Structure 1
C-alpha cells in the first residue's frame, strides 16, 4: 500500500470534517464541536491561519492532521501547533499517522520551528504512537476560558 501526503484544500473539507467528528465521538466530546462544514471550507481556503495535511492511499483520504502557526515566546520563534491527528480506522497500523507527522516535521524544519500539541492522558494508543516517534511527553494542565462581556 502506498501512502502520499499533501496540503489540504477546501475540497478536502468534507473528509476532514468526517475524520474530526469521528475523533470527537471517540473522545466523547461531540458537543464541543461547533464548527460547520462551511466554516471548515472557509478556514482552509481563506484564513491563512488554519492548515491541514491529508494522507491518501488508493485515491482515498486515509487520515489528516490539522495545525496552525504561532509564535513561541520562550524560544523566540515560530511554532507549529498540531490540533488533531486522525487516521481512518481502516488505515490504522499501516504507517499513515507516521507519514502525516513526517509531513508536518518537514514543514516545521523549513521554518526552523518546534512542534507542540496536546494529548488526552487516557489515549494510550496515541501516547504509545508519539513515544515511538521519539516525542517528549510531559504532563501539563490545559486551561481553556471563553470570556464573556459582563
Structure 2
C-alpha cells in the first residue's frame, strides 16, 4: 500500500470556505481567542472570491494540514501595495515537518513577480515563531499594536 506523503499547496477558493473556517477556529482556540472569531462560512465564501484576499492551504492526500492567509493592501509611505499576512497555522500533528516553511515560501512565491513586501505581527512571547521567522530571513522589530473600536471614543472631541 502506497501512502501519499507529499505536501501540496493550493489557493483556497470559495468552495473551501468550510475548511478555512474550521482551521481559523482551531487557530483561535489554540491562541485562546475563540470568542473573537465572528465570521462564518458564507462570509468566508465571499472573502475567498476576492482578488485581494489570499489563503493558501497545505494538504497531504487531500487532508488540510494548515493555512496562511494574507490581504493585499496599499502601503501609503511607499505608494505600493504590500501583502499583510494575517495568520499562519499548522495543525499540531503536522508541525515540525516543514509545512509552515512551505506555506511561507508559497506565499512569497505568489507575489515574487511583483516584489511585494510581506508584513505581519507576532506576539512578543511567541519566541518559537520568532525563531522560525528569523530562520526564514525575516527582520523582526518590536512595535506596539493598537486596536480601537470607534464606539469607545469619547463623546466630545
TM-score between both structures, scaled by the size of structure 1? 0.92
- Secondary structure of residue in 2 paired with 1:34: coil
Aligned residues: 149
**Residue 146 of structure 1: how far off its partner (Å):** 1.8
- Whether 1:33 and 2:37 are equivalent positions in the alignment is yes
Match of 1:71, SS?
A: strand
2:92 is aligned to 89
Residue by residue, what CA displacement relative to the aligned partner does 1:27-51 show, whole Å, maximum 9, x if unpaired? 1111111111211112112x33322
Residue 42 of structure 1 corresponds to which residue in structure 2? 46
1:124 alignment partner, one of 100, 123, 127: 127
Alignment of 1:45-64 (within 5 A): 45=49, 47-64=50-67
What are the ranges of 5 or more consecutive residues in structure 1 without an aligned counterpart?
A: none
Structure 2 regions of 5+ residues with no counterpart?
none
Do residues 135 (structure 1) and 141 (structure 2) align?
A: no
Q: TM-score, normalised by structure 2?
A: 0.88
2:10 maps to 6
- Is this contact kept in 2: 1:78–1:111, CA < 8 A? no
1:106 corresponds to which residue? 109
Structure 1 runs (4+) deviating above 3 angstroms are none
User: Equivalents in 2 of 1:92, 1:142: separation in Å?
Assistant: 27
